[in-house]
């Protein structure tokens, strides 16, 4: 009996080349754990940095290889889909990952070391903590955590089965929860943020799992292709399906940070170490949005008429909450958090469009938004006063007089967020809005344009504050960073500008990539 059952068990088919980017990053993460265990502490940091960048470089090579060979297909018994969208998103995530890793490696900005607590286990304010700080210890465990999170992000938008998707979701989330609590300065705030993030993340995971169970109950499959087939054939029990689909979507919308599932984001953005905030704000949004689009288009595409109005409502609420509450923020990191909520709303326009143009527009939008976001947080990490980062807006007044270059770069990022022409943000918004308008969502586009105008207020307010206010003693100063952060600021600023003037190559890439396999 046992033998018979075993012999009928089919070995899953793996095309390791297609899975390579994900596998390489996970392998790198395991190597990184081993480094943590076996390499002497004095050399650990440098070895970890080498391992991380090498891993990302090889993984990017694997993505390029998949791209040039135009490899496509559903692998691992229908759990993993490699198609144009997955390849492009993996490439974008790896680029953002490199930028994030560069920020992680920076240690000249804070006189005491890098952005992470020397020992996360030491109580905040305790004598242990002080000892570790004085001894100049550096946290190197962030590197394996970073790589595991990155691997999860690569898997997330390629998962084409609800269970794989859930695993990817958790793999990317858990390291982020941990790292969010590891800030060197203001540790209580950081730990509070991490705990909130964890609890609310668990809550949203519960939504996702319950939704997956309901969808399985309806379709008899957790596979996207199977769900889509069931949706096209069955006519009964649609209430159960709809509830399940909605809950699955809520789990993902939490990660994207769409209102009303966004409330973790300002607290976490503010509390987490800034390099992590930059990486997370960019890469999580890209990965989660990719996953959301895959679920909505591939698995639930047949029920489009049911979920489109909900997406409309969510887009409007998100744009409204992000822009309106953003106006009242006095902390730069919280302001950027609400800005990201508003951007999530703009991105939902592409989902509402449910068209190929919408998909390619959102790919472009995600790439440019991710790059600009990392750059903006890189600048935020440099603006400091005696107590650490000066994230209160009051400290930014007159910054343009003191450090015109950095203030100018930050102004560029803000203009990109606001969607001003000649920046990449304008082209992204234009692509998404026009796709939505073409699919008949004109009222939504009008609301989005109004929201952009209101959002423009709080971006421009910061520019006015920086450049048209006299510098006082309270004005923070810009720290001169090492090459790591300089590269990030330079590359992100250049990309923001170049993609605003010469967007065509990336737009073409996105247009060619916008396919989903089923």
**Contact set with another protein (CB under 8 A):** 195-196, 199-200, 203-204, 207, 238-239, 242-243, 246-247, 250, 254, 259-261, 263-264, 266-267, 306-307, 309-310, 313-314, 321, 323-328, 430, 434, 438, 454, 457, 502, 504, 507
**Closer to another protein by Cβ: residue 60 or 208:** 208
The answer to whether 392 and 416 have CB atoms below 8 angstroms apart is no
User: DSSP letters along 191-223, please?
Assistant: HHHHHHHHHHHHHHHHHHHHHHHHHHHHHS--B
- The minimum distance between CB 254 and another protein, in angstroms, equals 7
Q: Tell me how crowded residue 388 is: count the other CB atoms within 10 A of its CB.
A: 18
Q: Which is nearer to another protein, 261 or 369 (CB)?
A: 261
Q: Closest distance between another protein and the C-beta of residue 499, in Å?
A: 13
Minimum distance, C-beta of residue 504 to another protein, in the bound complex (Å): 5
Rounded least distance, CB 123 to another protein, Å: 21
Q: Is the peptide bond before 260 cis (omega within 30 degrees of 0)?
A: yes
CB 289 within 8 A of CB 366: yes
CB of 139 to another protein, least distance (A): 25
Please count the residues of the chain. Answer: 518
Contact 395, 479 (CB under 8 A): no
> Is residue 503 helix, strand or coil?
coil
Q: Which is nearer to another protein, 417 or 458 (CB)?
A: 458
Give the residue with the Cβ less far from another protein, 136 or 505.
505
DSSP per position, 3-54: HHHHHTPPPPP--HHHHHHHHHHHHHHHHHHHHHHHS-HHHHHHHHHHHHHH
| Nearest-angstrom CA–CA distance, 224 and 294 | 9
Query: Up-side HSE of residue 24: CA atoms within 13 Å toward CB?
Result: 22
- Whichever of 17 and 438 has its CB closer to another protein, that residue is 438
Give dist(CA 461, CA 409) in Å, integer.
15
In whole angstroms, what is the distance from residue 264 CA to residue 118 CA? Answer: 25
Nearer to another protein, 64 or 195 (CB): 195
Decide if 380 contacts 337 (C-beta within 8 A): no
How far is 271 from 415, CA to CA, in rounded Å? 25
Residue 294 or 334 with smaller CB distance to another protein? 334
Minimal distance, residue 500 CB to another protein, in Å: 12
Which residue's CB is nearer to another protein, number 430 or number 467?
Answer: 430
Minimum distance of another protein from residue 465's CB (angstroms): 17
Name which of 247 and 516 has its Cβ closer to another protein. Answer: 247
Of 27 and 200, nearer to another protein (C-beta) is 200
**Alpha helices of 354-441 — where are they, by DSSP H?**
356-382, 399-402, 404-418, 424-438
CA distance 375 to 104: 13
Nearest approach in angstroms of CB 108 to another protein is 27
The least distance separating another protein from the CB of residue 311, rounded to whole angstroms, comes to 10
For another protein, give the closer residue by CB, 72 or 238.
238
SS3 for 90-151, per residue?
HHHHHHHHHHHHHHHHCCCCECCECCECCCCCCCCCCHHHHHHHHCCCCCCCHHHHHHHHHH
Q: How wide is the angle at C-alpha 10 spanned by C-alphas 9 and 12, nearest 5°?
A: 130
Taking the CA atoms of 155, 158, 164 and 165 in sequence, report the sign of the dihedral they define: positive
Q: How far is CA 506 from CA 289, 428, 500, 513, in A?
A: 18, 11, 11, 10
Q: Which two tokens stand for residue 333?
A: 């990191």
Select 183 or 325, whichever has its Cβ closest to another protein.
325
Give the shortest CB-435-to-another protein separation in angstroms. 10
> Which residue, 140 or 323, has its beta carbon nearer to another protein?
323
Structural Rg of the chain based on CA atoms: 22
Q: Give me the least distance between CB of 197 and another protein, in Å please.
A: 9
CB of 487 to another protein, least distance (A): 21
CB of 72 to another protein, least distance (A): 27
Could you give the count of Cα atoms lying within 13 Å of 203 in the half-sphere of its Cβ? 12
CA–CA distance from 40 to each of 35, 133, 143, 266 (Å)?
9, 19, 15, 38
């Amino acid at each position: 009996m046992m033998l018979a059952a075993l012999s009928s068990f089919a070995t899953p088919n793996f095309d390791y080349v297609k899975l390579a980017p994900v596998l390489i990053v996970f392998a790198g993460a395991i190597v990184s754990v081993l480094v943590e265990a076996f390499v002497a502490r004095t050399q650990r940091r440098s070895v970890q940095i080498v391992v991380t960048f090498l891993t990302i470089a090889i993984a990017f090579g694997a993505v390029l290889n998949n791209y040039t060979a135009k490899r496509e297909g559903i692998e691992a018994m229908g759990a993993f889909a490699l198609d144009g969208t997955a390849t492009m998103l993996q490439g974008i995530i790896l680029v953002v990952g490199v930028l994030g890793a560069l920020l992680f490696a920076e240690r000249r900005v804070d006189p005491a070391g890098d952005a992470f607590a020397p020992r996360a286990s030491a109580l905040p304010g305790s004598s242990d903590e002080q000892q570790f700080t004085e001894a100049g210890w550096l946290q190197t465990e962030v590197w394996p955590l970073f790589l595991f999170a990155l691997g999860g992000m690569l898997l997330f938008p390629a998962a084409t089965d609800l269970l794989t998707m859930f695993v990817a979701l958790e793999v990317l989330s858990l390291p982020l929860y941990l790292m969010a609590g590891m800030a060197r300065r203001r540790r209580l705030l950081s730990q509070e943020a991490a705990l909130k993030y964890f609890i609310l993340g668990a809550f949203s995971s519960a939504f996702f799992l319950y939704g997956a169970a309901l969808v399985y109950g309806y379709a008899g499959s957790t596979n996207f292709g199977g769900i889509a087939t069931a949706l096209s054939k069955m006519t009964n029990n649609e209430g159960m399906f709809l509830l399940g689909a909605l809950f699955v979507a809520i789990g993902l919308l939490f990660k994207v940070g769409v209102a009303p599932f966004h409330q973790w984001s300002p607290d976490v953005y503010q509390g987490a170490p800034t390099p992590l905030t930059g990486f997370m704000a960019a890469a999580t949004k890209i990965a989660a949005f990719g996953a959301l689009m895959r679920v909505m288009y591939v698995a639930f595409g047949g029920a489009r008429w049911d979920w489109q109005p909900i997406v409309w409502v969510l887009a409007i609420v998100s744009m409204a909450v992000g822009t309106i509450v953003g106006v009242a923020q006095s902390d730069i990191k919280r302001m950027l958090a609400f800005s990201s909520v508003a951007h999530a709303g703009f991105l939902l326009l592409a989902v509402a469009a449910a068209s190929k143009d919408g998909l390619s527009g959102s790919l472009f939008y995600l790439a440019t938004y991710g790059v600009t976001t990392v750059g903006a947080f890189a600048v935020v990490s440099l603006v400091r006063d005696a107590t650490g980062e000066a994230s209160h807006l009051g400290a930014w007044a007159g910054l343009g007089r003191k450090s015109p270059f950095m203030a100018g770069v930050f102004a560029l990022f803000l203009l990109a967020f606001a969607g001003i022409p000649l920046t990449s943000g304008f082209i992204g918004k234009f692509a998404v809005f026009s796709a939505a308008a073409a699919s008949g969502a004109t009222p939504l586009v009008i609301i989005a344009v109004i929201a952009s105008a209101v959002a423009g207020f709080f971006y421009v307010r910061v520019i006015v504050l920086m450049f048209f206010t006299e510098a006082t003693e309270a004005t923070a100063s810009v720290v001169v960073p090492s090459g790591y952060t300089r590269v990030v600021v330079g590359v992100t600023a250049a990309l923001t500008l170049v993609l605003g003037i010469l967007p065509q190559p990336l737009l073409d890439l996105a247009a060619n990539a916008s396919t989903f396999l089923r």
